[in-house]
Chain A
Amino acid sequence: MTGVGVARAGRDSALLAGRQLRVLRLNPGRLIYPLVQPVVLLVLFVSVLGNLALARGAAGGSYRQFLIPGILIQNAALTAPSTGLGLLRDAGSGLADRFRSLPMSRSAVLIGRLAADAVVFAAQAVLLLAVAALLGFRVHSGLPGLVVIVAVAVSFGLALAVISAWFALLIRDAEAAERVLYFPAIALAFVSSAFAPAGDLAGWMQPIARASPVTAAAGLIRSVAGGGPVASPLFHLTLWVLALAVVPGMLAVRRWQSSP
């Protein structure tokens, strides 16, 4: 891409991110799913499971301290399909033709949406961390630690958002895409160390759980919050984010451009 192309992509992405955020401002009902439901889920999970005497020592002593990073990541996973479904909604409306007929950057349609979704993921993480603090979650590394935790949730969420965008555009049918995208988002957290250490899962699950991006992200948050090894989960998560975002992102943009 030329310098002009990059500048144009940046400008158009910013415009489209602004569009998404403005839609949220004018239609606050759309914030219930990414912001209100996660808080409810967090409170429910912690109230039901938080006092179990599991996973002692795994992260600062209590199961609550272990569980909350898992729920943080679970919620990011559950929010990610919205990116793909929103893109698909645009693709199926006259708006897609409008955008394709404009001299605008092709990649901006995806990048702009992701930029706006990054704000939503960040807001979700901040809100969950605030409620988690009330529920007894402690971050020993202070404000820098909190910033890193939000960044981890956002990167994880965006990587899944990109792959959801590609899948949604591959499926093309909005109703089918909804079913196909949400199921793995739900299953992902269970086949990982989100709720229990990988070593405590059923035998066949353990290799999958150890490799899971949820395990990497939740593990990284636990380490940042409670003081543990950071390098290994960070490396693991970085690989996942790159794998899920780069090539699928390019494929999603190509798929968006190619009209039926």
Chain B
Amino acid sequence: MGNSSTPADPPAIEAAGITKSFGRSGERVAALTGVDLTVRTGTLAALLGPNGAGKTTLVRIIATLTRPDAGRISVLGFDVVAQPARVRARIGLTGQYAGLDEALSGRDNLVLIGRLAGLGRRPARERATELAALFGLTEAIGRLARTYSGGMRRRLDLAASLMTRPALLVLDEPTTGLDPGSRQQLWAVLSTLRAEGTTMLLTTQYLEEADRFADIVHVLNHGRVIASGTAAQLKARMGRAVVEVRLAEPAATAAAARVLTGRLALPPGAVHAEDGTGRLTVTAASRAGVVGEWAGDGTGTLLAAAAALRADGVPVADLSLRQPSLDEAFLALTGGPA
């Protein structure tokens, strides 16, 4: 299956105005209320959102399992509603629940799914052996799947979706419920796949995963994509960098807070200090503007704070600048508890 990227390649996923509601008329619950989404080939896109945001519904629509009520969506250039068979031939799905027959061995599962996807008997067996090795399942591959641990089951399930080398891999919360070791193992495999050029869309509740691994993060909330961009862009959009100050003498905390507020002419609340701890934080005044005589952005705030403290002779042990975390950006975007 060729997935070499030329400029003429259609996007892996292109969705516009997708809506979907469930339930009987009268008490219908809207799961998606107008999703616009583009995923370029060769990227790893994360779909981030709180529970009930519509992540699974969107994944099911992309994987041809559920029809949208309205809107247009194409996967690798094929319309999901009009050409589901074409889409199915090109995608791999790892759902929230393992798509395995627990009463069969790991190998039986892989071969069955590979053959149902169109592989011949020998290629299916060879691919199963190859994937078992890649996923560290070589020892267990002959055992019944019901004897597998949660992490092994998840890896087997992922292997099953890779039997035909899909051009697009869709994963619904692949790491939920896994212990840290298994999660890391799974991410190692996903990173290998990305390096090989597989386009991936995955949903996750773990912001840290989206931050570390995704090329693009799409934030889904109340059935809509409310923000898209790299993790860094989302954090920047959320805005202000934070300067963290650690004083050499904890007793000087209150004095330092007065100095910073006064000299930098900051609004109340921009400086946070806990008396006697020697730790203060200063939120940048603006993203790009100028405040008084100094640049109000993160770097400007850092320099101004350092100058102010030095001028008043407050000894500083450490001064650092950090961007808001994706958690903070996510909560700000989704209006969740801060």
Interface residues of A (CB under 8 A from B): 12, 15-16, 18-19, 22-23, 26-27, 30, 93-104, 259-260
Q: Which of B93, B98, B103, B157 makes the CB contact (< 8 A) with A101? A: B93
Q: Across the interface, do A95 and B144 meet the contact criterion of CB distance under 8 Å?
A: no
Q: How far is the CB of A256 from chain B (nearest CB, A)?
A: 12
Chain A residue at smallest Cβ distance from B62? A101
With both chains docked as a complex, state the minimum distance between the C-beta of A22 and any C-beta of chain B, in angstroms.
6
The reply to whether A101 and B63 contact each other, CB–CB distance below 8 Å, is yes
Which B residues contact A (CB, under 8 angstroms)?
22, 60, 63-66, 85, 88-89, 91, 93, 95-101, 103-105, 108, 112-113, 115-118, 144, 157, 160-161
Asked whether A97 lies within 8 Å of B101 as measured between CB atoms, the reply is: no
Contact A99–B116 (Cβ < 8 Å): yes
Which listed residue, B89, B104, B112, B157, touches A15 by the CB 8 Å rule?
Answer: B112
Contacts of B99 in A (CB 8 A): 93-99
B108–A98 touching, CB < 8 Å: no
The answer for the CA separation of A22 and B142 in the assembled complex, in Å, is 13
Give Cα A27–Cα B146 distance, bound, in whole angstroms: 12
A93 to chain B, nearest CB (A): 6
Q: From residue A3, how far is it (CB to closest CB) to chain B in Å? A: 16
Given A103-B85, A103-B88, is A98 in contact with B104 using a C-beta cutoff of 8 Å? Answer: no
Give chain A nearest CB distance to B285 CB in angstroms: 50
Name the residue of chain B whose CB is nearest to the CB of A99: B116
Between A and B, 15 residue pairs with Cβ closer than 8 Å are A15-B115, A16-B116, A19-B108, A22-B104, A26-B103, A93-B97, A94-B96, A95-B99, A95-B101, A97-B65, A98-B93, A99-B116, A101-B64, A101-B88, A103-B85
B65 contacts A101, C-beta separation under 8 Å: yes
Please measure, in the bound complex, the distance between the C-alpha atom of A102 and the C-alpha atom of B117, giving whole angstroms: 6
Whole-angstrom distance from the CB of A85 to the nearest CB of chain B?
14
In the complex, residue of chain B having the shortest beta-carbon distance to the beta carbon of A11: B115
B64 touches A27 (CB 8 A): no
Q: A100-B64, A103-B118 are in contact. Are A19 and B112 (CB under 8 A)?
A: yes
A21 to chain B, nearest CB (A): 11
* Minimum C-beta distance from A74 to chain B (A): 28
Chain A residues closer than 8 Å to B116, beta-carbon distance: 12, 15-16, 99, 102, 104
- Known contacts A22-B108, A26-B144, A93-B97: A98-B160 contact under CB 8 Å: yes
A97 to B88, alpha carbons, bound, how many Å?
Answer: 12
- Asked whether A94 and B157 contact (CB < 8 A) given A15-B115, A102-B116, the answer is yes
Quick check: A94 and B100 within 8 Å, CB to CB? Answer: yes
Contact A102 B65 (CB under 8 A): no
Q: Given A27, A93, A102, which contacts B113 in the complex, CB threshold below 8 Å?
A: A102
Cα-based distance from A102 to B113 in the complex (angstroms): 8
Q: How far is the CB of B157 from chain A (nearest CB, A)?
A: 7
Distance between Cα atoms of A93 and B99 in the complex (Å): 7
Question: What is the bound-complex CA distance between A26 and B268, given in angstroms?
Answer: 71
Residues A101 and B144 in contact in the complex (CB < 8 Å), given A19-B112, A95-B99: no
